[in-house]
Structure formats: C-alpha cells, structure tokens
Amino acid sequence: MREIRTDIEIDAPPRVVWEVLTDLDAYAEWNPQTTNASGAVREGERVAITVDRQGRRSASMRPRVVEADPERRLEWVATVLHPRLFEARHSFELDALDGDRTRVHNRERLSGVLVRFLVDEDAVRAYEAMNRALAARVASLVAESRTA
C-alpha cells in the first residue's frame, strides 16, 4: 500500500472549502489534476472524474462516494477491475481553525498490484499543487463574496 499525505491551511471557514470540494462540475476550472468531473457528492453515489496524469494518458474513473460529512470529511473510492488490482481511497478532512481558517488534509491511499505501475514519485508534488489551487479558488470565492 502507498499513501500520499498533504496538508494546507486555507484562510476561509470550512463551509467555503466544502463548497469548492463538492462542486465537482467546477474542478476542471481550478484543479490541475482534473480535466473533467461531475456528479452528486452524496454517500453511495458514483461520480465521474478524469485525471491528468502529467504527460501520460489521462485516467477516467467512477469512484463511489463513501463518506460525505459536510464541512468535515469527503471520501471516495475507485477501483480498476478489482480492489486487489488497484484501489484508490481519496479523502479530504477539514479541521476548523481559529480566525475562520481551515486545515485541509488531502490523502490518497493506494493499494493493489498495479500501484507501482500507475503511481510515480511526482504524486506528492501533484497533490501539493492541487492544495495550492484549492486555496487560490477558495480565496477568489471569498474575495467575490466581499465585493458582492
């Protein structure tokens, strides 16, 4: 098993971060890893996500949302054919901090025999880039709400 663990503190309350994380239709606008995403973020539902694999063929998947606890935790699970071949559990955990700030824990647990062929060492950098893009998207929404 391999785990990618990244964190970022964002200058906005969990409510705003949650809005961005659950608006899958807008992922391609801000998330450098995602070229397309859609679906309803509700437990038990499948969503559609296409991931840009940085110069390699993109990967489309239909993960199942296994947890959607508003403003706290979002997790989905994707498999390729069978969990023993490849399973990816992606989660976002939101911790409310003082001063209307949020710490986001962005995790991916990968398992199965295909992990070594599908995941490379650039994955952590890609998740860190996603975190920075999430923070920028949230900041733009906060700025828009202040001028509205």
CATH number at residue 97: 3.30.530.20
Q: 21-61 pLDDT, tens per residue?
A: 999 999 999 999 999 999 999 999 999 999 886 666 778 99
Domain tally for the chain?
A: 1
Q: Helix (H, G, I), strand (E, B), or coil: what is residue 20?
A: helix
Residue span of the structural domain in which 111 resides: 2-147
Task: From 21, 3, 25, 128, select the one nearest 75 (Cα to Cα).
Answer: 21
pLDDT at 18: 99
Q: How far apart are the first and last CA of the chain?
A: 47
pLDDT at 131: 98
What residues are paired with 56 via a beta bridge? 53
Amino acid (1-letter code) at residue 38: S
Name residues whose C-beta falls within 8 Å of residue 36's C-beta, 6 or more positions apart in sequence: 27, 28, 48, 49, 50, 60
Q: Which helix (H) or strand (E) holds 140?
A: helix 123-147
* Residues of the chain scoring pLDDT < 50: none
**Residue 68 near residue 22, CB atoms below 8 Å:** yes
